[in-house]
Amino acid sequence: MSQAAQRKFRNEVEEFLSRLELRARKLISLADVLDKNADKSDVTGYRPFREEVDNFKALSIVIMERMNKLESHPKKEELEEQFHKLQVLMLRLVIKTSLKFFFIMSAKEHLPLGAREMFQSELRTLYEAERMISDPRYISQLDDSAKEDLDTAKDILEEIIEKAPALLNFNKPRKKKRTS
């Protein structure tokens, strides 16, 4: 690949990393709001945080794709290190915020209709986080409490899913009543 192409990918990675850092700052801000309003939290209050996590993850995929195209660029290692630091920050934030939110939701007697589907999606996110935690690039930057918190969050979430109401399914055929 030409030097011009390498420079283009490096510039894109730098720009995207800058945007990822802004997303990380927004995640921190949203996590702080959730933390301060923990006792008043509900499913709708958690949604902006989750949407921003999804945005962060989507942008991360784009960055990884661009970084893979950087062959032996002198700044590649530095850019990868910056990327991995942001990933660890996101992981810590997701684990800590999710744990607190799930703990609060587990104490609620009634959850809204459709909560089961939302929490099942959260469970997938936690399993994805667990996979990331076991990655050698991240494991050295996370302490044992992160893994313990993640396990606790998964346990609480599984309990919530069991008691959470599902969305109504209007596509199920009804049994016809016999008329005699």
Q: What value, to the nearest 5°, has the Cα angle with vertex 115 and ends 113 and 118?
A: 135
Condensed to tens digits (0 to 9), the pLDDT of residues 92-139 reads 899 888 888 888 888 878 777 777 888 888 888 888 888 888 888 777
> What is the C-alpha to C-alpha distance for residues 52 and 33, in angstroms, rounded to an integer?
13
Position 57 scores a pLDDT of 94
Q: What is the model's pTM?
A: 0.80
Note the helical H segments in the chain: 3-36, 43-69, 76-107, 115-133, 136-139, 144-163
Mean pLDDT in residue range 48-70: 92
Which 3 state secondary structure label does DSSP give 38?
helix
- Domain parsing of the chain, residue ranges: 3-163
Tell me how long the chain is. 180
Q: How many CB atoms neighbour CB 80 within 10 A?
A: 17
Condensed to tens digits (0 to 9), the pLDDT of residues 149-177 reads 888 988 988 888 888 777 665 565 555 55
Query: Is 156 exposed, middle or buried (CB count within 10 Å of its CB: 0-12, 13-18, 19+)?
Result: buried
Residues 67/79, Cβ–Cβ less than 8 Å = yes
